[in-house]
Chain A
Amino acid sequence: MQVKSQSFKENSKKALNDKTLQKALTKVRGNFINKRKKAVDELPEFDTLRDNARDIKNHTLDNLDLYLEEFEKKVVDQGGHVHWAQTASDARGQILDICRKANAKTVTKGKSMISEEIELNDFLEASGITPVETDLGEYIIQLRNEAPSHIIAPAVHLTMDQVREDFIKAHSHLPDDRLLEDPQSLLLEAREVLREKFMEADVGITGANFLVAETGTSVIVTNEGNGDLTQSLPRVHIVIASLEKLVPTLEDMSQIMRVLARSATGQKMSVYTTLSSGPKRKDDPDGPDEYHVILLDNGRTDMLGTEFQEMLRCIRCGACMNHCPVYQQVGGHAYGWVYPGPMGAVLTPNLIGVDKSGHLPNASTFCGRCEEVCPMRIPLPKMMRHWREREFEKHLTPPAQGRNLKLWLMLVKRPNLYRKVVRIASFGLRLFGFRKSRTGFLPMAGAWTKDRDMPTPEGKPFLSQYKGKQKIS
């Protein structure tokens, strides 16, 4: 996936002018926010659970090496294979090897953001293997050759009309005049088409919401059941997961699960929670012959011990983006890479470099709502500010912004000069706002006055007027 984060401004302008997208985005506000609030309000211990969830992940991250080794040992003991992938390219190579050995033509896939991160679909296709996304949202965007615009609702940027058109185009074996008038009929059609793919697939690839060290288990939570078919029908099951998905015990997992679905969709639990701990055993009625876990680092261990370590607590619920006023306006594609919204604004610079994604940590009002709703209590605004510090240190701040900052600093560090300049500025601005207390035009403030008036000062500056006490003496 080409990184387009550098053109965040242009991307967002396009998004703001896209009427269909704007219509689709209203869903984010209505559905996710209200449902989460209801679910959270119903659970008095929600904040305590958040504290526990945070502590569990902190403990895991502080002892990551131990738990990774424990996890690997368990998986191997249970007949599975663990592959360590330092980079995206390592992971792709390992997956291709497994697919080639299995003589795979078709691969079904459960929803996985790691798969997006390592650009697996394009790679498999180029290698002659057909990947089929089986999560409905992922299936839709695969038909459209698009990236997900949301980490749990990949097609949230689309309206039903667009999906209907895509299905009519893609499912050309079905009659053109069939009725596809509601979400239900679209769902049934996708299910029908995908059912065959499930039966054909040689390999099933899923992500993981959790990896449990004590039992060597990978866990997925889904609402469609597609993940179960993906991992139980083909001969080979590959799990791709990044290192920080680890938790020590099943008890830890179930604690975090209590905040996950509530924060994501407002459900108490997702419809399916599926645990897999290895290949089919002798007496199992079904399951894969081979079970592989690809453990991807791709820059994450570099975050350990830095001011960004806490980001590794993220459980990908999407609450931060649902509640973000910027995401709500521009949607996920504007962010220009895999992870959008506040979590993306922190994670993306870690994974692809801040030089390529410098806009993301800057494109925030610091309203703090992401941190307020984050089930893992990740201080997202603080970490965006850390990126701004790194950018400032590396002189990546845009030149005009740097000049303005310098000019302003020159003033605010000199109180006497400052008061004189404020008096002059006040006078000048009042000329512009004469009688109306506002102006629709102001030199050098075009970015503001393009769409808003600028209120002008009501009179001389306060510090020039004030005659009262200044100091205790």
Chain B
Amino acid sequence: MSKEPRVGLFVTCLVDLFRPSVGFAAVKLLEDAGCDVYVPITQTCCGQPAWNSGDKVDTAELAISVIKAFEEFDYIVAPSGSCAGMLKKHYPEVFANDPAWKERTEKFSEKCYELTSFLTDVMGVRKVWAEHSANVTYHDSCAGLRELKIKKQPRILLNSMKGINLSEMTDNETCCGFGGTFSVKYSDISNAIVTEKSGHIEDANVDLLLAGDMGCLMNMAGKLKRQGSKVEVRHVAEVLAGMTDKPPIGGKA
């Protein structure tokens, strides 16, 4: 048995499909921090769409397959506050009244973390060596912020980088309007919320918008690009890992 903590990377379905470089960035950041990283290939989705649609039975089935695939690791890390929140906070709710799975789930959930908070809070990382020259602002995604209390962690890491000039936008803790299926079920309201958000992003006068969740990033990038904005959008892990050779999310202006 190695002394390095063995970390199972929960890639998340949006990173898998839309932004593989975030997956590779996460692997690099975890390895640089001294972790032994594994990626179970059978993983699909954390089950949030079912959970938020009120479908408890299918949520439980998906949760069990995630738990089985990942419980052997010392830690389970996801580059998303939303999915990590599902694994850490909501899985125990799913099995709260199921004696067969309750304890096993709680044991699993305790080991689950969002990427930036795992790096700082568990691995004690205070500095990343990548360099990136940009004026950036950071959007605090709701689930990470409120369920997992992620606020300072990505900022500690970003501020340790050479070239990053971080400034805060107005209402950085306000929802971007994504909300998973909300963005298509109530698309008009979702659009109104993200329009307000994109105004704050523009007002911050930055080159680059960062956040820790692909859903929010795709929503904000989609709006900014439709408006012809020059602000580029990336997942925070790409910048922290120095893996910014791919075009930004939604491309350039």
Mark contacts of A221-233 with chain B using CB atoms, 8 A cut-off: 1 yes-contact digit, 0 otherwise.
Answer: 0000000000000
Tell whether, in the assembled complex, residue A463 and residue B11 are in contact, meaning their CB atoms are under 8 Å apart. Answer: yes
Residue B65 interfacial (CB < 8 Å): yes
Give the interface segment out of B120-128, B151-159, B245-253.
B245-253
Given contacts A329-B192, A455-B18, A470-B41, is CB(A362)–CB(B250) below 8 Å? Answer: no
Interface string of B177-213 (1 = CB under 8 A from A): 1111111111111111111100000000000000000
- Closest 5 A/B residue pairs (Cβ): A365-B179, A437-B251, A388-B54, A452-B222, A392-B54
A13 to B182 CA separation, bound complex (whole angstroms): 15
- Are B226 and A440 interface neighbours, CB within 8 A? yes
Structural contact, A458 and B45, CB atoms closer than 8 A? no
How many contacts between A and B, using CB within 8 angstroms?
Answer: 224
| Count class of interface residues, chain A | 35 or more
Among A426, A452, A465, A471, contact of B191 (Cβ-Cβ < 8 Å): A452
Partner of B43 from A330, A463, A469 at Cβ < 8 Å: A463
The distance from the CB of B97 to the nearest CB of chain A, in whole angstroms, is 11
CB distance from B48 to the nearest CB of A (A): 9
- Is residue B223 contacting chain A, with contact meaning CB distance below 8 A? yes
| B163 beta carbon closer than 8 Å to chain A | no
* Cβ-defined contact, A453 with B38, below 8 A: no
Which of A41-49, A153-161, A409-417 forms contacts with chain B? A409-417
Cα A327 to Cα B132 in complex, Å, equals 39
**Contact B249 A455, beta carbon cutoff 8 Å:** yes
Instruction: Return B93 CB to nearest CB of chain A, in Å.
Output: 8
B172 adjacent to chain A (CB < 8 Å): no
Q: Please state if A392 and B221 are interface contacts (CB–CB under 8 Å).
A: no
Q: Which residues of B contact A382 (CB under 8 A)?
A: 93
Chain B residues lying within 8 Å of A448, measured Cβ to Cβ, are 183-184, 187, 222
Residue of B nearest to A388 (CB): B54
Q: Known: A9-B186, A445-B184, A462-B20. Contact between A365 and B247, CB under 8 A? A: no
Question: Given A448-B184, A458-B19, 5 more contacts at CB 8 Å?
Answer: A12-B188, A363-B182, A451-B191, A468-B39, A471-B38
Per the bound structure, the CA–CA distance linking A326 and B193 in Å amounts to 8
Docked Cα-Cα span, A262 to B42, in Å, equals 50
Residue of chain A at shortest CB distance from B181: A401
Complex Cα–Cα for A425 and B16 (A): 11
B22 to chain A: which residues have CB within 8 Å?
462
Q: Residue on A with the closest CB to B190?
A: A365
Query: Is A272 among interface residues, defined by CB-CB distance under 8 A?
Result: no
- Bound: A450/B223 CA distance, A: 10
Distance between B197 CB and nearest chain A CB, rounded to angstroms: 9
The reply to whether B44 and A411 contact each other, CB–CB distance below 8 Å, is yes
Tell me whether B27 is interfacial, beta carbon within 8 Å: yes
Instruction: Given A13-B188, A453-B250, A469-B37, verify A458-B20 contact (CB < 8 Å).
Output: yes
Q: Which residues of A contact B (CB under 8 A)?
A: 9, 12-13, 16, 325-326, 329-330, 362-369, 371-372, 382, 385, 387-393, 397, 401, 405, 408-409, 411-413, 415, 418-419, 422, 425-426, 429, 433, 436-438, 440, 445, 447-448, 450-463, 465-466, 468-472
A436 to chain B, nearest CB (A): 5
**Considering only CB atoms, which chain B residue lies closest to A387 in the complex?**
B54
Q: List 21 A-B contacts (CB under 8 A).
A: A12-B189, A326-B189, A365-B142, A365-B177, A366-B143, A369-B174, A405-B55, A412-B45, A437-B250, A447-B183, A451-B187, A453-B225, A454-B218, A458-B18, A458-B20, A459-B20, A462-B15, A463-B39, A466-B39, A468-B27, A471-B72
Contact with A along B26-49 (1 / 0, CB 8 A): 010000000011111111110101
Q: Is B135 an interface residue (CB 8 A)?
A: no
Cβ B182 vs Cβ A364 within 8 A: yes
Least CB separation from A323: chain B residue: B174
**Which listed residue (B17, B52, B143, B193) contacts A385, Cβ 8 A?**
B52
Complex alpha-carbon distance, A72 and B217, angstroms: 56
What separation, in Å, do the CA atoms of A369 and B105 have in the docked complex?
A: 27
B177 CB contacts on chain A under 8 angstroms: 325, 365
Q: Considering only CB atoms, which chain A residue lies closest to B246 in the complex? A: A458
For A392, the chain B residues whose CB sits under 8 A away are 53-56
Q: How far is the CA of A460 from the CA of B17 in the complex (A)?
A: 7
Inter-subunit contact A454/B222 (CB<8 Å): yes
B37 CB, nearest partner CB in chain A, Å: 7
Docked pose: A362 CA to B190 CA in angstroms? 13
Chain B residue numbers with a CB within 8 Å of A422 are 13, 16-17
Residue of A nearest to B42 (CB): A415
- Complex-state Cα separation, A221 to B223, whole angstroms: 44
Is B147 positioned at the interface, with any CB of A under 8 Å from its CB?
A: yes
Closest chain B CB from A159 CB (angstroms): 19
Residue contact A409 to B182, C-beta cutoff 8 Å: no
B54, A389: Cβ atoms closer than 8 Å: yes
Residues of B within 8 A of A411 (CB): 44
Is the pair B182, A438 in contact by a Cβ cutoff of 8 Å?
Answer: no
Query: Would you call B21 an interface residue if the criterion is a C-beta within 8 Å of the partner chain's C-beta atoms?
Result: yes
B51 and A385 within 8 A (CB): yes
- When C-beta atoms are compared, the residue in chain A nearest to B36 turns out to be A469
**B21, B55, B61, B219: the one within 8 Å of A452 (CB):** B219
Question: B182: which of A365, A418, A457, A458 is its contact (CB, 8 Å)?
Answer: A365
Give the contacting residue for B175; candidates A367, A405, A457; CB below 8 A: A367
**Cβ B6 vs Cβ A472 within 8 A:** yes
Decide: A461 and B17 in contact? CB cutoff 8 A: yes
- Measured CB to CB, the nearest residue on chain A to B24 is A462
The reply to whether the CB of B92 lies closer than 8 angstroms to some CB of chain A is no
Does A366 contact B20, Cβ atoms closer than 8 Å? Answer: no
A345 to B42, CA, bound (A): 38
By a CB distance below 8 angstroms, the chain A residues around B250 are 437-438, 453, 455
A366 touching B179, Cβ below 8 Å: yes
Q: Which residues of the other chain, A, contact B186 by a CB distance below 8 angstroms?
A: 9, 12, 326, 362-363
- Contact residue among B37, B218, B246 (Cβ-Cβ distance under 8 Å from A459): B246
For the complex formed, measure the closest distance between the CB of B107 and the CB atoms of chain A, giving whole angstroms.
Answer: 17
